[in-house]
């Protein structure tokens, strides 16, 4: 299976890339600078370009089967309002539809869309707007991103993540559509496995599960 990963140089993207290659996927990544990818693998193609440039996105999607979008703003970002992820997603979705690439797995955040209701009121009313403004900015952009995907013709899955921690895998992942059993974090390895597994699974097509350990 031929897979494109957008965001392969990020914290989550690097782990997803390594796992996809270990499972035998033929992976193509679009990066701003090729030096950001240090992995060498016969099944890896690295293309330098800009995800906000439709011609670059068109090129990287040619003759592909599936897409994982795990774009970020670089950790916590700069705290300023951004439309980077939603703008990039719009281009990716449009080009996927033009090239009849149907399967998209996209990373979002717990707190986006209806998953905001899964959070305690103290977090949503006090912590998020006053003490975690950097996260609110990211969630705001994910709230712009998600409808772009949901209103598309694609077979999409949006994976809403809590805090992603670089700790040993727990070997389990709770995926919920109603918030039941949702915890505060998920390990990077368990998240990566869930994301890559969705490429061949259908249970969450056109769904937005929130995941945690």
CATH number at residue 23: 3.40.50.720
CA torsion through residues 200, 206, 103, 15, sign: negative
Would you give the DSSP letter of residue 99? Answer: T
The pLDDT, as a whole number, for residue 158 is 98
Could you tell me which residues are beta bridge partners of residue 103?
66, 155
Average pLDDT over residues 49-63: 98
Average pLDDT over residues 140-149: 97
Listed in order, strand segments (DSSP E) in 118-161 are 155-161
The pLDDT, as a whole number, for residue 81 is 86
The pLDDT, as a whole number, for residue 132 is 66
Average pLDDT over residues 36-51: 96
Q: What are the CA-CA distances from residue 205 to residues 91, 101, 102, 111, 150 (Å)? A: 21, 14, 11, 20, 11
In angstroms, the CA 194 to CA 189 distance is 9
Domain total in the chain:
1
The residue among 117 and 182 whose pLDDT is bigger is: 182
Q: pTM of the predicted model, to two decimals?
A: 0.94
Cβ atoms within 10 Å, residue 24 = 9
C-alpha 98 chain-centroid distance: 21
Residue-averaged pLDDT of the chain: 93
CA atoms within 13 A on the CB side of 41: 20
Could you tell me which residues are beta bridge partners of residue 157?
105, 207
Give the confidence band of 190 by pLDDT, cuts at 50, 70, 90.
very high
- The residue range of the domain holding 107 is 2-212
The pLDDT, as a whole number, for residue 207 is 98
| Counts of helices then strands in the chain (DSSP H, E) | 6, 10
């Amino acid at each position: 299976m031929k897979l494109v990963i957008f965001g392969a140089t990020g914290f989550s993207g690097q782990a997803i890339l390594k796992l996809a290659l270990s499972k035998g996927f033929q992976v193509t990544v679009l990066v701003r600078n090729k030096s950001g990818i240090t992995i060498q693998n016969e099944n890896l193609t690295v293309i330098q370009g800009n995800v906000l440039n439709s011609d670059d996105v068109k090129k990287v999607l040619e003759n592909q089967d599936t897409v994982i979008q795990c774009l970020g703003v670089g950790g916590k970002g700069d705290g300023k309002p951004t439309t980077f992820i939603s703008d990039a997603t719009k281009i990716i979705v449009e080009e996927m539809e033009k090239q009849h690439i149907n399967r998209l797995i996209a990373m979002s955040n717990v707190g986006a869309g209806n998953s905001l209701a899964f959070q305690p009121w103290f977090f949503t009313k006090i912590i998020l707007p006053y003490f975690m403004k950097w996260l609110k900015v990211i969630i705001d952009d994910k709230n712009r991103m998600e409808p772009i995907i949901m209103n598309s013709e694609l077979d999409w899955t949006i994976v809403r993540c809590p805090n992603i921690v670089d700790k040993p895998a727990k070997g389990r992942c709770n995926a919920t559509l109603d918030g039941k059993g949702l915890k505060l974090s998920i390990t990077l390895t368990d998240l990566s496995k869930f994301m890559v597994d969705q490429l061949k699974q259908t249970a969450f097509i056109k769904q937005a599960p929130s995941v945690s350990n």
